[in-house]
Amino acid sequence: MKNIPKMSLTSLFLIIVMIVTAGCSSTEKASSTNHSKLITDDSKPYVGFLLDTLKDERWYKDKALFEEEIKKLGGQVKTLAANGLDEVQIKQAQLLIEEGVDVLVVVPHDAVISAEIVEIAHEAGVKVVSYDRLIKNADVDYYISFDNEKVGEIQATEILKKVPNGNFAYIGGAESDNNAILFRQGAMKVLQPLIDNGTVKLVHDQYTDDWNPDIAKENMKTALSKNGNAINAVIAANDGTAGGVIESLAGVGLAGTVPVSGQDAELEGVRRVVQGLQTMTVYKPINLLAVKSAEMAIMVAKGEEVKTDKQINNGKIDVPAVFLDPIAITNENVRDTVIKDGYLNEADVFK
Ligand code: GAL
């Protein structure tokens, strides 16, 4: 063991991620030592899919559905997840570029730091599609996501239906994620007029590092103790953070009494909605996102231009964009939406 050369933690982690994710990717495995051999058919468009993490339930769906669509369109794809580490995500981009990808589809961990991925990709003549989350301050080629401000508007609107006034807490997502900024912006668009006229008092307002449910739980504990448990409603940015918030509310006997929002229609999130512990979640049909982004990726890989009907300024340029519609889920429409679409199955939800 002694004569193994000292290897940086990142490189060691990267090799472990490579070995693990190489097992998941749909391309044939030649031998793990010679990366370029992993690509079996040079005539097929080769798509690199870079995920921030596989920690949240939805990203497994994104991975499976996107890979399936790329294959259907005659392409080949490799997916790598960075486990929330920026330097690993940049290294993974370098590796896929060296392997000869024709396009990179990226879910950035950090909206600003990931700009480096666009730079190194463009130096190699590889275009970049920002998937679900926007890469800021870079010449991103295309962006595809859901209308993220609308997500926030839907969350605030559904909560106000239950509690039209009182003390509100906002438990946001990761500030490094541009979506978390947009979700909060959308919620505040609805709440601000009520805050201005004193109907609603925003007694706690905090982002959650890395979307971590345990951190959301601690932040909610702070909010409760800071306000003598006098909190009437919580806008939590996704189901993960909502789960943490509801655990804290349970700790003071308020779970099911204080309305809480969520997002992603995770199984546990929807189960809490039908049990009355969580007021709502936001369903984002990922199959639509996967289909449209795979079409986009294959066209870009073939050097074709993609027509888009929208654009968004990322701090450097107006990025051509496609936005899909999010859907509010409450106890009333669970069967007509996520169950009917086969996104979740009835037995699991109503177990
Ligand atoms: C956001 C995404 C959400 C949520 C979150 C945590 O960017 O839009 O759906 O899952 O990340 O991973």
- Which of 110, 120, 91, 114 lies closest to 10 in space, CA to CA? 91
* Token representation of residue 231: 């909190």
Q: Is 61 in the pocket of ligand 1 (CB under 6 A)?
A: no
Strand-pair category, 142-146 with 127-131 = parallel
Res 42: pLDDT: 83
Q: Is 175 in the pocket of ligand 1 (CB under 6 A)?
A: no
Q: Is 109 in the pocket of ligand 1 (CB under 6 A)?
A: no
Residue 238: pLDDT band with limits 50, 70, 90: very high
Q: Is 46 in the pocket of ligand 1 (CB under 6 A)?
A: no
3-class SS at 228?
coil
CA atoms of 214 and 144, how far apart (whole Å): 29
Domain range summary for the chain, segments of one domain joined by +: 31-140+286-324, 148-284+328-349
Residues 47-73 have a mean pLDDT of 97
Res 35: pLDDT: 47
Residue 31: pLDDT band with limits 50, 70, 90: very low
CA of 4 to the centre of ligand 1 (A): 39
Q: Is 116 in the pocket of ligand 1 (CB under 6 A)?
A: no
Residue 29: pLDDT band with limits 50, 70, 90: very low
CA atoms of 109 and 292, how far apart (whole Å): 22
Q: Is 131 in the pocket of ligand 1 (CB under 6 A)?
A: no
CA of 237 to the centre of ligand 1 (A): 9
Listed range (19-33, 56-70, 72-86, 159-173) with the worst mean pLDDT:
19-33
Contacts with 228 (C-beta within 8 Å, 6 or more apart), sequence order? none
Q: Is 264 in the pocket of ligand 1 (CB under 6 A)?
A: yes
pLDDT, tens digit (0-9, with 9 covering 90-100), for 32-49 = 444 444 456 888 999 999
Q: Nearest residue CA, atom 1 of ligand 1?
A: 179
Q: Based on the number of CB atoms within 10 Å of its own CB, is 341 exposed (0-12), middle (13-18) or buried (19 or more)?
A: middle
Res 15: pLDDT: 54
Cα dihedral 325, 138, 114, 50 in deg (nearest 10): 60
* Token representation of residue 163: 């509690």
* Token representation of residue 229: 């448990």
Res 41: pLDDT: 80
Does CATH number 3.40.50.2300 belong to domain 31-140+286-324? yes
Res 14: pLDDT: 54
Domain 148-284+328-349: which topology? Answer: Rossmann fold (3.40.50)
Judge contact between 314 and 134, C-beta under 8 A: yes
Is the fold of 31-140+286-324 the same as that of 148-284+328-349? yes
Identify which of 50, 54, 56, 147 to mutate to test ligand 1's pocket (most ligand atoms within 8 A of the CB): 56
- Which of 161, 16, 1 lies closest to 82 in space, CA to CA? 16
Q: Is 132 in the pocket of ligand 1 (CB under 6 A)?
A: yes
- Which of 185, 189, 184, 220 lies closest to 203 in space, CA to CA? 220
Q: Is 211 in the pocket of ligand 1 (CB under 6 A)?
A: yes
CA atoms of 236 and 138, how far apart (whole Å): 30
Res 24: pLDDT: 47
- CA dist 172 to 151, 169, 259, 323, Å? 12, 10, 16, 21
Amino acid at 294: A
The minimum-distance atom of ligand 1 relative to the CA of 146 is 8
Q: Nearest residue CA, atom 9 of ligand 1?
A: 264
CA of 199 to the centre of ligand 1 (A): 30
Q: Average pLDDT, whole number, for the chain?
A: 92
Judge contact between 204 and 170, C-beta under 8 A: yes
- Between the two ends of the chain, the Cα-to-Cα distance in Å is 51
Phi and psi at residue 231, to the nearest 5°: -120, 125
CA of 173 to the centre of ligand 1 (A): 8
Residues 307-335 have a mean pLDDT of 98
Judge contact between 87 and 12, C-beta under 8 A: no
CA atoms of 344 and 337, how far apart (whole Å): 9
Within 10 angstroms of residue 29's Cβ, the number of other Cβ atoms is 11
Q: What percent of the chain has pLDDT over 90?
A: 87
* Token representation of residue 207: 């982002």
pLDDT, tens digit (0-9, with 9 covering 90-100), for 170-224 = 999 999 999 999 999 999 999 999 999 999 999 999 999 999 999 999 999 999 9
pLDDT, tens digit (0-9, with 9 covering 90-100), for 250-277 = 999 999 999 999 999 999 999 999 999 9
Identify which of 52, 61, 131, 179 to mutate to test ligand 1's pocket (most ligand atoms within 8 A of the CB): 179
Q: Nearest residue CA, atom 12 of ligand 1?
A: 56
Residues 113-127 have a mean pLDDT of 98
Within 10 angstroms of residue 298's Cβ, the number of other Cβ atoms is 23
Q: Is 89 in the pocket of ligand 1 (CB under 6 A)?
A: no
- CA dist 79 to 24, 44, 101, 122, 340, Å? 8, 16, 11, 20, 29
Residues 39-66 have a mean pLDDT of 92
Residues 133-151 have a mean pLDDT of 98
